[in-house]
Amino acid sequence: MIIEVGWDPFDESLKADPHPIWKRLRDEEPLYRNERHDFWALSRFDDVDAALRDPVTFSSAYGTVLELMTEHVQTGPLMIFLDPPEHTRLRRLVSRAFTPRGVAELEGDVRNLCRALLGDRGDRHGLDVVADYGAVVPAEVIATLLGVPPEDRAEVRRHIDGSFHLEPDVGMANPTAAASWTWLSEYITDQLRSRRARRRDDMLSDLLEAQLVDGDGSVHRLGVDDASVLALLLISAGTETVARLIGWAAFLLARHPDQRAALVADPSMVPGAVEEVLRFESPSPVQARRTTAPVVYYGTTVPAGSKVLLLNGAANRDERRFPDADQFDVCRGTDLHLAFGYGVHFCLGAALARLEGRVAVEELLARYPEYDVDPEGAVLLSTSTVRGYERLPLLV
Ligand code: HEM
């Protein structure tokens, strides 16, 4: 008897471990149709990779989260929801402020922060490696990078946390999250206004000063409102995802103590281990798109105007691409995975995420070369944008 493959992205029972069903999709229904929620899904590496590189056919401009997609093209400065050429212009402007050099210069600060967070607690006072560490690092780092003054950082971080608050049935659409977003938006707008009056050496100032000259000589700059939306995008895209990465790293290394021991003995292997964590448990495993023209997969036509989910988390486990894809192997030696997406929307913060992930793992292992995780206290979170641990107490 053939049992039809059914994948429902909202099914709680599949969230803990979607990999078996994603494997069935890859093997049995590489083009999957879900009538109930009206979407198609691609799960094989080559298909997801090609679709991510084709923003003309696979548009981001109707939204990239299934339940938040719109019938009409979105406007505004949220570049993740724009197609070229509007996307290209904004991305260039933000990239002027968010440079690889600026990111590399943060390493010392990130390390000091990690050490302080790990050092604050006595050895046996159960550290929650996500709530007390993995989630704190990116929120603090992005606040520092943007130029939030030290005296405001605790409050900003409290609202960053609040902005991700979830409630049953309504998810992120709840009053606590909305109030924190409003607070952050007003705060960042105020900070930008003060930079207009007097620049500082920080990313908020750089965002306002970045300029782009088009072929016809016209000059583009960001106004305070657009710069504020983009700063909020960096906060939202760069906090939850990195928290999940650090949580997955701590979890997977606890499950593979031999591989962890190899990293402790030779920390130069940590960057490769971070790539393997990203491949094996991709923190942001699903990206939605809308087709602008009919496309044919495996003999079936996906009409123009369809919602298509690109399962980059499933593609990263595709045996056609990665031998023994279901084996976690810190020595695998690949960075060609799709955890950061691909093509024009390739994660703008990838270098920062890699830096934070590497330093957080190095410092965790330096402090706790051997630990276990407490399954009783572990809480897995799976929203429409991220999947990973929200709470993960260490046993040391
Ligand atoms: C492990 C951590 C991270 C993961 C797994 C991740 C994943 C992703 C993915 C999959 C995309 C592509 C979305 C799409 O194709 O629709 C993306 C885009 C983006 N990410 Fe990240 N991200 C991470 C960290 C960060 C950080 C630290 C920042 C910045 C502080 C950041 C900022 C962005 C921005 C601005 C975009 C939109 C780029 C564009 O539309 O051109 N991300 N990220």
**Given this model, what pLDDT does residue 352 score?**
96
Q: How far is the CA of 143 from the centre of ligand 1 (A)?
A: 17
Whether the pLDDT of residue 339 is over 90: the answer is yes
Measured between alpha carbons, how far is 231 from 228 in angstroms, rounded to an integer?
5
Tokens representing residue 154 in the block:
């605790």
| pLDDT, tens only, 282-313 | 999 999 999 999 999 999 999 999 999 999 99
Q: How far is the CA of 141 from the centre of ligand 1 (A)?
A: 15
Length of the chain: 396
Compute the distance from residue 198 Cα to the ligand 1 centre, in Å.
Answer: 30
What residues does 309 pair with on adjacent strands? 41, 288
Q: Is the CB of 245 under 6 A from ligand 1?
A: yes
Q: At what angle do helices 350-367 and 136-146 cross, to 10 degrees?
A: 130
Helix (H, G, I), strand (E, B) or coil at 266: coil
Tracing tokens 């024009």 back to the chain, one arrives at 344
- Taking only Cα atoms into account, the Rg of the chain, rounded to an integer number of angstroms, comes to 21
User: Could you identify the residue written with the tokens 């049953």?
Assistant: 168
What is the structure's pLDDT at 216?
A: 85
The structure tokens listed for 248 are: 């997955």
CA distances for 90 relative to 188, 262, 306, angstroms: 18, 43, 26
Q: Which residue has the higher pLDDT, 54 or 16?
A: 54
Q: Find out whether 164 and 173 touch, Cβ atoms under 8 Å.
A: no
Q: Please give the distance, rounded to the nearest whole angstrom, from the Cα atom of residue 261 to the centre of ligand 1.
A: 30
**Distance in angstroms (rounded) separating the CA atoms of residues 190 and 26:** 48
Helix (H, G, I), strand (E, B) or coil at 85: coil
Helices vs. strands in the chain: H and E counts, helices first:
15, 13
Answer yes or no: is the C-beta of 233 below 6 A from any ligand 1 atom.
yes
Q: Taking residues 89-115, what's their average pLDDT? A: 92
**Residue 80 in contact with ligand 1 by CB distance below 6 A:** yes
> The tokens of 227 are what?
């710069």
CB 137 within 8 A of CB 110: yes
Protein residue with least CA distance to atom 17, ligand 1:
347
What is the average pLDDT score of the chain? 92
pLDDT of residue 106: 92
Question: In ligand 1, which atom is closest to the CA atom of 82?
Answer: 40
Does residue 348 have its Cβ closer than 6 Å to ligand 1?
yes
Residue 170 has pLDDT above 80, yes or no: no
What are the structure tokens assigned to 15, written together? 């969230």
Ligand 1 neighbourhood includes 311 CB (under 6 angstroms): no
Q: How many CA atoms lie within 13 A of 269 on its CB side?
A: 18
Contact yes or no for 40/31 (Cβ under 8 A): yes
- What mean pLDDT do residues 315-344 have? 95
Residue type, 48: V
CB-ligand 1 contact for 246 (6 Å cutoff) = no
For ligand 1, what atom is nearest to the CA of residue 312? Answer: 10
Does ligand 1 have an atom closer than 6 angstroms to the CB of 79?
yes
pLDDT > 70? residue 115: yes
pLDDT of res. 356: 98
Token pair for residue 198?
């007097």
pLDDT digit string (tens) for 238-265? 999 999 999 999 999 999 999 999 999 9
pLDDT at 165: 81
Distance 353 CA to ligand 1 centre (A): 9
Pocket test for ligand 1, best of 347, 356, 359, 384 (most atoms within 8 A of CB): 347
Summarised one tens digit per residue, pLDDT across range 374-388 is 999 999 988 878 899
Residues 6+ apart with CB under 8 A from 194: none
Show the domains of the chain with their CATH numbers.
Answer: 12-395 (1.10.630.10)
Query: Measured between alpha carbons, how far is residue 134 from residues 70, 193, 273 in Å?
Result: 33, 31, 16
Q: What is the pLDDT of residue 217?
A: 85
